[in-house]
Amino acid sequence: MIDYIKGEITELTPAYVVIETAGIGYFIHITLPTFSFLGEQTSVKLFVYEAIREDAHVLYGFRLQSERHLFLLLISVSGIGANTARMIMSSYSAQEIQEMIASGNVSALNAIKGIGTKTAQRIIVDLKDKIVKGIGGSDALNFASNSHHEQKEEAVSALVILGFAAAASQKTVDKIVQEQPTLKVEQVIKLALKMM
């Protein structure tokens, strides 16, 4: 199994990064906090979870081992797959997720797309005792920068990659940016996830 990949960033979107090392480009799925962290980097070391399926080998990357650990805890819960775990970790920071689980906050977990009440309760029951405090968040890119239009496109692209319709994603992002133009990319995507 791959523990980490270290190399140059050749492509970066809110949903994935391509890291080149030794002449090979690795396509790695990431969460929004990881995207925010990578926004200012040219080279990086990401800790990796490798999902091996019959039809594909999929890589998920995390900037901290503790984030990967939380991801592994989430996918250990019955009914939570890798994409659902990534959605959870893109909706809230790792610290917020841990606090929700530790405090038994079913309604906050239930607000995430694809997480019903029973699944939220199962996450809390299964993981409450295992959660370790102390995972921090990261800074995000700001919508007020010169690449305002590009960042709107990144937000829409991330939502489409996460499984939402392009038209609905565009409409939701436009509405959010119109009402709150100073939001960061990550914040816009998080709001959109809760609205869709």
Maximum C-alpha span of the chain:
46
In the chain, ranges of CATH 1.10.150.20 domains: 67-127
pLDDT score recorded for residue 158: 84
3-class DSSP assignment, residue 30: coil
Q: What's domain 4-62's architecture? A: Beta Barrel (2.40)
pLDDT interval class at 98 (50, 70, 90):
confident
Q: Which amino acid is at 116?
A: G
Which distant-in-sequence residues (6+ apart) come within 8 Å of 11 by Cβ?
Answer: 17, 18
The partner residues of 28 in beta bridges, in order of sequence, read: 17, 59
Q: What is the pLDDT of residues 64-86, one digit of tens each?
A: 888 998 999 999 998 899 999 99
Q: What's domain 67-127's architecture? A: Orthogonal Bundle (1.10)
Which one is the CATH code of 148-195: 1.10.8.10, 1.20.1440.230, 3.40.50.620, 3.90.1150.10? 1.10.8.10
Q: What is the pLDDT of residues 141-188, one digit of tens each?
A: 333 333 456 677 788 888 888 888 878 888 888 888 878 777 888 888
pLDDT score recorded for residue 149: 62
3-class DSSP assignment, residue 10: strand
In the chain, ranges of CATH 1.10.8.10 domains: 148-195
CB atoms within 10 A of CB 170: 17
Q: Please give the mean pLDDT across all residues of the chain.
A: 83
